Every structure is written in structure tokens, then in C-alpha cells.
Structure 1
């Protein structure tokens, strides 16, 4: 199979394993993995995935974190012709089990550090996936149940690899990965991203950034965060090196960047904000960088200015885009001379759409507004994903056809200003905290299930803090405990306040502006 014309996400890994086998593809801690080793190992695992499924598997869960299993498991799934489904052991078990059930995976790649919760996840699943344990022997996996087939480290290390020209074929319309994001009903919603979607994104970014085999990219994101796909495949498609950073290195990155010769930084803006507040973004402290990229939430002007001074040899860019539009769909290049004046609410513009994408700014009736007017940003093109996973009603709410093109409604209010878009905030209950997209309705659903009669979650007193106001007899402590059990840590309210009733507006909806005023007026002096 020729990889040059192959739409498969990950085909670059095979190409560079052949062309530059000794070049490093992945750095985990102090351990380097060459392209040859990475591709060969992934092909061994892929062979067992195909054998276990009796042919091409459909979806493969990757229940691992910043490990050989997490990165090579993704490559193995793609080589087997499957979609990979990233899972996070730091998420509550019920949430992960819900994802497993809805994804209906054929196999699950698990690293040794994630074994503790595995038996509980598998228990109760109607159809048990085959379990691959790349770094564990079967006897150390515990009791996974008699109906679970396990392939351990010995099986995977001795398997005959799939030959590159024998990989199950994929088309541009096949799903490359299935990512679950926060859902307003309390159930995570699945976003299937096709090989064609990913390929369009990668090609647009390579035309912009011109990465080479000499580049070294950071991996600051967990793999359940879709921005991680940029780092992984922009590196592997272009023969570069991916360097997976641990959380401590991300918040004190300077020695790591110098030691590893990092040329491309990519993170959420809050990382830059933390470093700036700590006063460590000194001028010239990151001399190896040539690209500094931020995405996932608004980029404050002060953070962009401080980062540019700290990395004077790099170009700073602000990327924007929801998962449904494949990682990012607009970009603004920071210019110290002109960008500060273009900021709105002291946030950097989100910029211009990627080549090949069509944008509309619409009102509440989905009617396009004049240039310069405020409205909801909608985007169509090859990066627009096909809709939500097995959720036609939700798809119909968020996707619509205009003049023959299918647009996704981002839910973000924007304005066209001097040829670029500036973001004015959300038009619904979806927010971002620490780069994670959150449906406040999901938090409210958990609170109601835990005993609250009414619940309203919001960002208060600042944009990084979730506060909930509830009515009913359930105590705040019990409600927070319920959230800790059901939600990732970044979604758990910092505080829960009890109220006699929630204020409503003329339409009978919760008046969040009035609720914020009440919080301001009744806040303890220490808040």
C-alpha cells in the first residue's frame, strides 16, 4: 500500500519508519522510541487486534495515560483499520463505563497504571472487549472475568507484525477517532472524526507551519483532549519528534524545553497565564521555540505579550475551534505592533478561517448577519465532522444546511473586525475552564440526581471558577461529594450555595444575571 496517497491518519508513521528508521518519533521521560521501533511495535499490536476481531475491528479503546501503551495503542488501532477511543483513568468510573458502552469497543489497550479500575469498568458491560496489556503479564491483571479474553505483554511482543501493505484499508469517510465531550443531558456526547477531517486539518497546518524532521513538539494535553491530536500527528506525519511532558514539567517547562531542544510549543492559554502570574516568563527564557501555539480557551493579551517576550524567536499564534470542526478552524498570528489594539475584552482575536473552510455569522434564526455585526459563528468544509455519535436529534440541533453546505453551529458569538473574527463569548451554557469544554447542564444534571431540586452552575466569581446554586434539602457537602464521584475534577464546582429559590426571567428561565448579583451580594468576605 502506498502511504503517499493513503488517507489513513498515522500513515506518516509508516512512511518515516521506512525513510528514516533511526529518527526519534517519541520521547517519554528519558526513553526515546525510534520511528522503526514505534511502527513495528504498533504493527505487532495491530495484528492481534485484527486477529481478535476476526477481521478489521471497528473501535479500540485506549485506557492509558502518557505511556507507551497510550501512544502506540493509538497507532495500533489506526493500523488495524479501527477508530481509537481515548479514555482517562482520572475520570470517574461511571463516566468511563458510559463511554465504553456507547462506543461499543471491540478491544481495549490498557497500561499497567490503569489496571486498578479495569475490572470494575468491564463488569456489567453487555459485550466484553478483548483486553491488550502491553506492559503487564496476564497473572498480574487480577480477576477480569472468565468471559474476557486477555492478550498480555508476551503475546504482544511475540506477535508477527502486520505488513504495511496488508493493513486493512480505510477511506476518507471512515472514523479515525471517537472523542467524548461534555453533554448537557448529563451524558457525554461522542464526536466521530473521520480520516478525511483529520487529513484536511493536518494539511492546512503543514502548509502554515512547514514542520520538518528537525522539529520537536510538546505534548502538554491529555489524549482525551482533542488538541493532543495536533501534536501527535503533526509530528508523525512530518518525521518530527513528539515529547510527552508530565504535569510538573508543563508548569516549569524551561529546563525541559532546553534539554529536549523543543521547537513547537502547544498548550491551553491558562498555562501561560500561570507562568506569567508566577513571574517566571522572563525575557528570552525559551530561546529554542520557533512556534508558540495556544488553543482551547481565550488567549489574554497579557499572556500573549509575556510569552512573546519569553520566546522572542518564535511566532505566537492563537488557534480556535471546537472538536466538531476537527481541533481548530481559525487562527490569529500575534503581531506585537498591531494585535493589542485588535483585542476585544482584552482577549486576542481568533483570526481567519483555515483554507477551504466556509464561515457564516448568523442570528438566532440562522440568518446571516452583515459583516461587523454580532452573531453565532458557523463553519462548513472538509474539517466539519459528520454529526454526533448515534444522536440524530442532537446532530439536527447543531448542524444545518445552507446553500448546499453543512455548517456546524459553534455556539460562540463573534464579530468580523478588520477581516478577522473576535470572540465575544458563548451564546449557551457551554463554557471552558482550563481549556476543557464543559456543558454546565451536565453539572446541573448531576446535582439534581444527587438531591438538588433546582440547580444552576456558572462561572463565578471569575472565569476559572465554577459555582453552583441549588434549592432543596440536600447539603452542599453531599452535593460536591456526588460531583466528585461522577465528574472529572475540572468539572466539579468549587462551591455549592443554597438558595430558597432561583430567580427567573420573563420567559420562566433561570435569570443568571440576577443570580450572579445575588452571589455578589451574599458572598462571604473571604470570597
Structure 2
């Protein structure tokens, strides 16, 4: 097949049976196994019937206003509100906009405003953040507090609220509000070079294609028990929730101490399906915790979000000998994951590039190509940018036509409409097996603990501070093998690094904060007169440029 003509992949997809909506699988499980456990959280379990009832109750409240909200934000952390609230928003026919309790108020407010959310579902643990979040909004959304008896006194005047009593007996809808597959399922915001996150709308059709491919691949059952290691602002969490609920299995979220001792959690909770960023496994491997045969309950071990070291895959496979280990790959713009490699201790090492497990082959309905900067295919086996097309690829960024245009190659086709190839920014090469091997990043975008970060966004926030004349953020190896951290290099007069760090923490999530800061009088330049980022990275990695003690 011509590397830029994905016609066979498209034809394959048309023969697949795909659920039309994100929550279709959950609704099917409510009918098929209503009394099975759907969610086990903090020692409490909810059945499918119970979770469905809660979601319908809250959806009824959301649909009561004359103009039902088109987008509903969900604010909380590992609570019944965050899980049932996601379903309730979908039942109300709205696009879900996850917020993160751990994000700075300014970032959540920016997301809320740009999403134009008409309602916010918030759990009791988020009350202290609601006042600052809504303060100053020209058109504050409806606030729904399902697990609270009263609204916090810090809410701005005039904000409409619904508490637990208001939700006690609304008129429940006969069923979820009808939406089209092309309508939005969820809206996430990813790191951007301008200093503002980019809005990534994912449609029901996009995510239904993803769920269909994974349903066919994994054949999960109602006896499976799934981890949930990701926050809902991380799109990998959608796999956790809706692959579990589509199979009739039970979702068992992890938090806090659980994430520090993940192997104990797997054993104590009879987990059968593990899904996390590779960093979690890397740390356990470094600690010597992946003893052979120590994870007997696992059937599937899935990793995504960053590069998976081959040594870690090998050690995890030995710890979970009854488990199939897979490395998934995909940007948020291509809906969670769209390439996959199944680890085989006998054959996989042949495809390892720089110690990293291959990212595999495309899902049904997806096609990949290795393209040069001008959009032309590179010769087989040579390095180029991985570009994607297919049913899982989004239409474009929220209200950002220029960013959307820059994100795609448009390639003329002799067989019909021109093809739009999403540019991932990842450098790969096609292996002899037909799969793809990961080489690195084309730009300054990096992955820290699975979170995609544009270092330019961190730099933009640094340069807003007084006294900082120049700022460069680079990714460097951490103390743990396979772990990447950020280092900030600053130039300017009278810089107080403690103040710089404190201000940054008021505006950015913790995973975007540099681990170390380094001061220079002036930055080195390359032959083109630009700041030499490679030289700065070498200075940090070699230790020649020492960190400032905080």
C-alpha cells in the first residue's frame, strides 16, 4: 500500500461494528448485568443499576433549564461525582469538560471560559476552589453540588446552584438525550507553545472507533477488574472508564498511597487489567519490586503515554507471566491510542530502538505514514515524522484555525478527496516488521510522567515574570532510569529562584514545574544566531551548569 493512501485501512473500518456513542457500552451493561459491580471506590461499591440511576438523576437536573448546557465541566478527584458526573453530562447530551482539582485556579478558569461550559458538577472536596474559579466570570455557569447539602459561602453573588436536596426528586428523563455520533463527547486541553492550552474536541464517532477496536482486540469480560491510574484531564482515563463499563467489569480507581505501592494494590484487589504510563513500571523495576510471578492476577498489562523501556517490559512480563503486555501509542488528537505493539520476549527485542519498545502498528480504521517536513513520504527504514489519518483523528483545535492548519499535512489523492494527515511531532522509522519504532520528538514537546508538555508553554510563563530576560526549559534524564525531568535555565539581573518557582506553581500544574533551575549571564547561540538549546541541555546534563539550591 502506498504510505500516503490509507484506503485499505478505511475499508477495514467500515466492516467493524462500532458503538455509536461513548456511553453506549455502559448502557448495554446496565441492561445486561445491572447488579454487577461497576465502580469500587474508597471501600464503597456501586452496581451498574445504581450508577445509572445516579447519572439519570443528575442528568435530569442538567436538562431542566430552558437552555440545556452544551458543555458540562466536572471538577473533583476520585469521587462518585467525578465518575457518575461524567456519565450524567453524557446523558444530558453535553460534551464533558474535565477540570482538575490539582490545577491552579487560573488554568481551570481559562479552560472553563474557553469551553463556554454552561454547568459545573463539583464534589465536596472542591468547594474551596469554586469561589476563586467562578469569580469575575461574565457569565458564570450553573453549579451542581450532588454530594453537598449547601453551597459554599465563597461563591460569587448571583451564581445559580443546585445542592443534594434540589436533586432529590427531579423529573428523570426517560433515557439519555439523543446526540449524533459527530457531536462532541469530551473536550480536553493540552499544552501549547503560546502559553495557553489547546482545546481538543473529541467526537462520539472518534471515541466509538477507539472503543470498537479495543473491544475486538481484548475481549474483556464482566469478571475483569480494571485500574484507573489517570486523572480525567488525561485522555487515557477514558479507556479505564468505558472499556471497563462496556465489558460489564468493575473499575477500581487508584489514588495517593495506592499509586506509591501499585503492586500491592493489584494483589489486594485482584486486578486483571492494568493500564498506566510506563514511569510507574520503571520505578517498580528500579526498586527491584518486579519479582518473577509476583502479579498472578493480571491478564492484560497495558502501557501508554510515554516511551516504554524494553528492560521494563521484560521485567513486568516476568512479574505477570499470565499477562499479555502491550505498548500503546497515540496523541490526544487521535483519540487516546491508535497504534499498539504486543510484547514478545522472543521477537520484540529485534524491533527495539534506543532501548525503547516499538509503538506498533495502526488500529483498524487508522493509517500511519512517515513523512518529511514537506509532507512527502521518506524512504522505508529512514526517520521522519509520524503522521496519522483515520476515524479517530479529530477535526481541529477549538476556535484555533491557524493551529489546526499547522497540525495537518493535506496530501492530494488520486482515489478521492485529499487526505488530511495529523502531524504528531514524533520521529519514527518503519521497521522491517511493518511496525513503527519510536526515535524521539521533532519539536520541544516532551512527556513527563505521561503528561504531554510543550516546554514553550513553561517558558512563556517564566518570561512573564519580572527580572527574567531569557528562559529556556529542557528535558533531561532524571535520577531514575527511563524518567525524564525538566530543567529551567534563566538569564536576568537579580533573579530570586525561590520567587520564580513559587509564582510558577501558582499558574501551572505540578508536573510542568522544572525540577531544577540554573542561572546564566547570557545564553549560547548557534550558527543561525538562535539560542543553542542543545548546548544548554549538555551544560545541564554534564553538571557544568549547577542547579540553584531552593
| Range class of TM-score, shorter chain | over 0.9
Between the aligned partners of 1:346 and 1:160, the Cα distance in structure 2 is 58
Partner SS for 1:385 = coil
CA distance in 1, matches of 2:294, 2:104: 38
How far the C-alpha of 1:261 sits from its partner, in A, is: 2.0
How is 1:144-223 mapped onto 2 (pairs within 5 angstroms)?
144-164=155-175, 167-223=176-232
What is the TM-score with the length of structure 2 in the denominator? 0.92
Partner of 1:295: 304
Per-residue deviation at 1:138?
Answer: 1.8
Question: Is the counterpart of residue 37 in structure 1 residue 50 in structure 2?
Answer: yes
The structure 2 residue matched to 1:437, chosen from 452, 455, 459, is: 452
Q: CA RMSD in A?
A: 1.6
Alpha-carbon distance between aligned partners in 2 of 1:5 and 1:316, rounded to the nearest angstrom: 25
Partner-residue secondary structure (3-state), 1:138: coil
CA distance in 2, matches of 1:422, 1:488: 30
Alignment counterpart, residue 127 of structure 1, candidates 133, 139, 159: 139
SS of alignment partner, residue 506 of structure 2: helix
Distance 1:489 1:525 in 2: 19
Tell me how far apart the structure 2 counterparts of residues 33 and 307 of structure 1 sit (CA, whole Å): 31
C-alpha distance in 2 between matches for 1:460 and 1:263? 34
- Name the counterpart of 1:417: 431
Residues 368, 19 of structure 1: alpha-carbon distance in 2 compared, 3 angstrom cutoff? same
The question of whether the paired residues in 2 share the 8 Å contact of 1:471 and 1:498 is answered with: yes
Could you tell which deviates more after superposition, 74-83 or 356-365? 356-365
Residue 273 of structure 1 aligns with which residue?
282
**Is the Cα–Cα contact under 8 Å of residues 19 and 212 in structure 2 kept in the other structure?**
no
Change (3 A) 1:525 1:174: closer
Cα 1:156/1:498, change in 2 over 3 Å? same
The answer (yes or no) to whether the contact 2:270–2:297 under 8 Å persists in 1 is yes
Q: Which residues of structure 1 form unaligned runs of 5+?
A: none
Q: Does 2:534 correspond to 1:513?
A: yes
Aligned position for 1:350: 359
- Tell me the equivalent position of 1:256: 265
Q: Is the 8 A contact 2:19 2:208 kept in 1?
A: no
Q: Give the match for residue 389 of structure 1.
A: 398
**Distance change >3 Å, CA 301–CA 286, structure 1 → 2:** same
Paired residue for 2:247?
238
Q: Partners in 2 of 1:224 and 1:157 — Cα distance?
A: 29
The answer for the alignment partner of 2:236 in structure 1 is 227
Quote the offset at 1:55 in angstroms.
Answer: 4.4
Q: Distance in 1 between matches of 2:387 and 2:26?
A: 33
1:378 counterpart SS class: strand
Q: Please list the CA deviations of residues 188-227 of structure 1 after superposition, one character each: whole Å capped at 9, or x if unmatched.
A: 1110000000000000011110111111111011111100
Per the alignment, residue 471 of structure 1 pairs with 491
Quote the offset at 1:237 in angstroms. Answer: 1.5
Retained in 1: the 8 A contact 2:518–2:545?
no
The count of aligned residue pairs is 520
Secondary structure of the corresponding residue to residue 98 of structure 2: strand
| Equivalence for 2:470 | 454
Unmatched 5+ residue regions in structure 2? 1-16
With over 3 angstroms needed to count, the CA separation of the structure-2 counterparts of 1:525 and 1:235, relative to structure 1, is: closer
Which ranges of 4 or more aligned residues in structure 1 deviate by more than 3 Å? 523-527
TM value normalised by structure 1: 0.96
